[in-house]
Amino acid sequence: MAQRIYIIEDDTALRTELAHVLELSGYAVAAYEGTWADTAARALAAEPDCIVLDLKLPGADGHSICRDIRAHSDVPILMLTSSESEFDEVMAMNLGADDYVVKPYRPAVLLAHLQALLRRSATPASDMIIRHKGVELNVGSATVSFAGRTAELTRNELRILQTLMRNPGIVVPRSEIMCALWESDAFIDDNTLTVNVNRLRKTLGTLGVPDDFLATRRGVGYTV
């Protein structure tokens, strides 16, 4: 069965073009058309494998839609927008978007992002438990624990922490982490990795994990 992509885009021409590109690549496509008042609910009702979400919609905010979707589902969200604002990208990632592509997009680049996102979400998790400096990562349940407290991880947080905890005491290059996340670093804005690492740090901080557990080696990478 073809993977189902749900498009939330107000520009009819762009929506039609994107649907055509995706259908030519073998995806089943559904698109939202309405008043934008119940966007998140309708998107989730379609049970998509991935949601492509425009940031700026008439009478609606893509950030709030992203937040509403993420509050009820872990479905992958690819933010597609004409905004090149770093603030918008950081906001989208912090609210739960998994990736961010700026319009005008190249079809090959968009498909590369989408395919990597779908492969990550479809990869079965192992039941492996990794421990380091009192932090316990359960890969199977995508949770991290410390001092009796537990938090759930997003897919990207899990991939980053798993990559680092498998290499304790070793500085893992940014390019290697990016490949673990997106299977390539060719089309990825370096700032997107920084946003994801900062989100992971915030999650660890809620458990009381010391700030220096995840350290930055400027210009090189990260280590635990």
pLDDT tens, 15-70?
A: 899 999 999 999 999 988 777 778 888 899 889 999 999 888 877 778 888 888 98
Token output for 43: 């998107």
Cα–Cα distances in angstroms (integers) from residue 35 to residues 22, 59, 60, 77, 105, in the given order: 24, 8, 9, 21, 26
How far apart CA 115 and CA 112 sit, in angstroms, is 5
Query: Which of 60, 94, 122 is where one domain is finished?
Result: 122
Q: Of 90, 105, 122, which residue sits at a domain end?
A: 122
pLDDT value for 190: 65
Per-residue pLDDT band at 101 (split at 50, 70, 90): confident
Whether residues 32 and 101 fall in one domain: yes
Q: How far apart are CA 46 and CA 29, in angstroms?
A: 10
Which pTM value belongs to this model? 0.61
pLDDT tens per residue across span 41-53: 889 988 999 999 9
Number of structural domains in the chain: 2
Do 72 and 138 reside in the same domain of the chain? no
Between residues 115 and 206, which one has the greater pLDDT? 206
- What is the reported pLDDT for 122? 66
How high is the pLDDT of residue 30? 92
Q: Give the end of a domain, one of 89, 122, 155.
A: 122
Q: Which residues constitute the domain of residue 58?
A: 4-122
Q: Who has greater pLDDT, 116 or 92?
A: 116
Q: Of 94 and 151, which is predicted with more confidence?
A: 151
Cα separation, 138 vs 127, in Å, equals 7
Lowest mean pLDDT among 190-194, 201-205, 216-220: 190-194
> pLDDT digits over 120-137, tens only?
776 555 557 889 999 999
